[in-house]
């Protein structure tokens, strides 16, 4: 768009120019109020909380109520969603990746798995997962690793790194550097091979793979969508779509709640927190 500078020399012209942008549609943006035409059966438009497409290299964050579902869609088959989760009421309680893998006796995330806090509670659970390629080991890229891989890596650059994206997202809730802890990466998978090596799977994957996370507490979710730290391709990451809707909290007979004795106790600890 070319606008002669002289045409915006007075505030009214600048106002008119700014207001003329209303209604512009971008590839990556939130939709307010949220609209989604592909909600699961039984979910109505009134239940919608959030609809946003997150740019390659972008980030987003949202406070989400207990029971809500957040569906992340890897639109083009090349997203990498690095996520942090906090207890919204007391953000010093947050995702603990070590406890998440140790307590579930398994390092691979997927349907039915829990994201556990450092306080022995379940923050979110994987209600559905059509991807199956995730990573709880390698964490976020940082400014130094992106500078090595792409030549630059700052938030202001063409190749922002996941850690600094998470930092900005966390900061929107008043959090800071001490609060950006180990994260989990969704859609790009890491397997552990003989001898302890980390093997990254970058696909190619089919478009439209989805993960649905159920909030088991009132949470702050922070998402960065940057290339995986082990990804050695030229900069490559696809758009990520987030849709959230209200839902019921896990009942006494919930399958995920009852899947393991450790998980059952994690849900019992959540129930205990909300016994008020």
Residues that bind other proteins (CB under 8 A): 92, 96-99, 101-103, 105-108, 116, 118-121, 137-140, 142-145, 163, 176-183, 191-192, 195-198, 229-230, 262, 265-266, 269
60: nearest Cα among 38, 36, 79, 47: 79
Count Cα neighbours of 68 within 13 Å in the Cβ-side half-sphere: 22
- Tokens in use for 223? 């998402």
Q: How far is the CB of 26 from other proteins (least distance, A)?
A: 32
Sequence-distant (6+) residues with CB within 8 A of 165 are 57, 58, 59, 82, 140, 155, 224, 225, 226
As a whole number of angstroms, the distance between CA 151 and CA 20 comes to 37
Nearer to other proteins, 173 or 246 (CB): 173
Nearer to other proteins, 102 or 233 (CB): 102
Report whether 77 contacts 238 (CB < 8 A).
yes
Q: How far is the CB of 34 from other proteins (least distance, A)?
A: 32
Q: How far is the CB of 141 from other proteins (least distance, A)?
A: 8
Nearer to other proteins, 189 or 247 (CB): 189
Nearer to other proteins, 116 or 249 (CB): 116
Nearer to other proteins, 47 or 118 (CB): 118
Q: How far is the CB of 14 from other proteins (least distance, A)?
A: 40
Q: How far is the CB of 185 from other proteins (least distance, A)?
A: 10
SS3 186: strand
SS3 148: helix
């Amino acid at each position: 768009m070319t606008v002669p500078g002289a045409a915006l020399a007075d505030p009214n012209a600048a106002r008119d120019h700014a207001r003329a942008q209303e209604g512009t549609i971008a590839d990556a943006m939130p939709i307010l109020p949220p609209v989604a035409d592909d909600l699961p059966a039984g979910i109505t438009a009134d239940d919608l909380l959030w609809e946003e497409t997150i740019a390659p290299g972008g980030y987003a964050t949202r406070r989400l109520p207990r029971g809500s579902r957040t569906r992340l869609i890897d639109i083009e088959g090349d997203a990498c969603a690095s996520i942090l989760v906090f207890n919204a009421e007391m953000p010093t309680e947050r995702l603990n990746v070590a406890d998440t893998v140790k307590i579930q006796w398994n390092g691979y995330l997927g349907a039915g798995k829990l994201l556990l806090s450092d306080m022995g509670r379940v923050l979110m659970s994987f209600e559905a997962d059509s991807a199956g390629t995730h990573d709880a080991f390698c964490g976020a890229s940082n400014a130094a690793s992106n500078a090595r891989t792409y030549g630059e890596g700052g938030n202001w650059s063409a190749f922002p790194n996941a850690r600094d994206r998470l930092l900005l997202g966390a900061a929107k809730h008043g959090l800071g550097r001490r609060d950006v802890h180990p994260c989990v990466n969704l859609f790009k998978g890491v397997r552990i091979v003989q001898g302890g090596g980390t093997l990254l799977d970058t696909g190619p994957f089919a478009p439209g793979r989805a993960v649905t996370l159920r909030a088991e507490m009132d949470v702050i979710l922070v998402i960065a969508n940057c290339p995986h730290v082990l990804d050695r391709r030229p900069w490559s990451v696809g758009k990520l779509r987030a849709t959230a809707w209200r839902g019921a909290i896990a009942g006494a007979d919930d399958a995920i709640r009852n899947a393991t004795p450790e998980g059952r106790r994690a849900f019992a600890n959540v129930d205990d927190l909300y016994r008020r």
